[in-house]
Amino acid sequence: MSGNVELLNDTLAKAKAENRAALIAYLPAGFPTVDGGIEAVKAVFDGGADVVEVGLPHSDPVLDGPVIQTADDIALKGGVKIADVLRTVREAHAATGKPVLVMTYWNPIDRYGIERFTAELAEAGGAGCILPDLPVEESGVWREHAEKHGLGTVFVVAPSSKDDRLATITAAGSGFVYAASLMGVTGTRESVGASAEDLVRRTRATTKLPVCVGLGVSNAVQAKEVAVFSDGVIVGSAFVKRMLDAPDHAAGLVAVRELAAELAEGVRRAS
């Protein structure tokens, strides 16, 4: 069975045709439970997200700030496995028909087996992977298997990336380019930073792939600001924080659905 990178491509193209940025949400699998995490992904889609990244919880999430680390700890203590991540992808995609990616560090895939992981992710209906710590120079085997199974490979670029480095990274990627708006870890911030717009401009000069901005976006005002100059707005910690702050799971689902609706309005107001 082939994965859904074309669905991801079509979804981002549709948003562009509507003269708006796409809304890409992130939630870790297994948080607060496997079933609860699946419900949360569905709620975010119901609220208006175009794409969801399902995080594969990791014990040493170098790119993630304290909010996502807390959620990962809860998921890992609950015994979340790669099979649960794949189930989350499968059930979320089956229920919504929308593109679902996995965001993961490299070590779990390497240990699980590249061919096994790509085949099972494609079978689950996944659209691809975001791999923040996989160097492009070491990604050939992964990309070969991902392409064979119809999966996208999304790499991360940062404000510190030089222009020639951006060209190397974007030439290897597919689906979209994840532009980290600032240096540091994930988390909500008061300002997304002017460096994001410059990074998008420089990245676009190297590729025709959509360039989507993440790290720091937490509300509709910031989403609108970023949507003016990017192809997609990526929001993670704000969704996780809504779940963590909710008095119970049902309230958490309402909270993330409402946040998705607010952000979806923000990316549309930019048009």
- The yes-or-no answer on residue 147 being catalytic is no
Mean pLDDT over 146-164 rounds to 95
pLDDT tens-digit readout, 219-268: 999 899 999 999 999 999 999 999 999 999 999 999 999 999 999 999 98
Q: Which residues pair with 27 in a beta bridge?
A: 54
Q: Which of 16, 17, 13, 12 has the alpha carbon at shortest distance from 50?
A: 12
> What pTM value is reported for the model?
0.94
Tokens 């929308």, residue located: 98
pLDDT tens-digit readout, 14-33: 999 999 999 999 999 999 99
pLDDT tens-digit readout, 43-55: 999 999 999 999 9
How far is 105 from 58, CA to CA, in rounded Å?
Answer: 7
Candidate list 53, 197, 225, 231, residue with the active-site label: 53
Q: Please give the C-alpha separations between residue 31 and each of 26, 139, 172, 254, 264, in angstroms, as whole numbers.
A: 12, 29, 32, 15, 23
Amino acid 181: pLDDT = 76
How far is 46 from 260, CA to CA, in rounded Å?
Answer: 8
pLDDT over 60 (residue 192): no
Candidate list 39, 50, 64, 197, residue with the active-site label: 64
- The yes-or-no answer on residue 64 being catalytic is yes
pLDDT over 90 (residue 185): no
pLDDT over 80 (residue 156): yes
Q: Which amino acid is at 145?
A: H
215 confidence band (pLDDT: 50, 70, 90): confident
Question: Which uninterrupted H or E stretch holds 43?
Answer: helix 34-47
pLDDT over 70 (residue 64): no
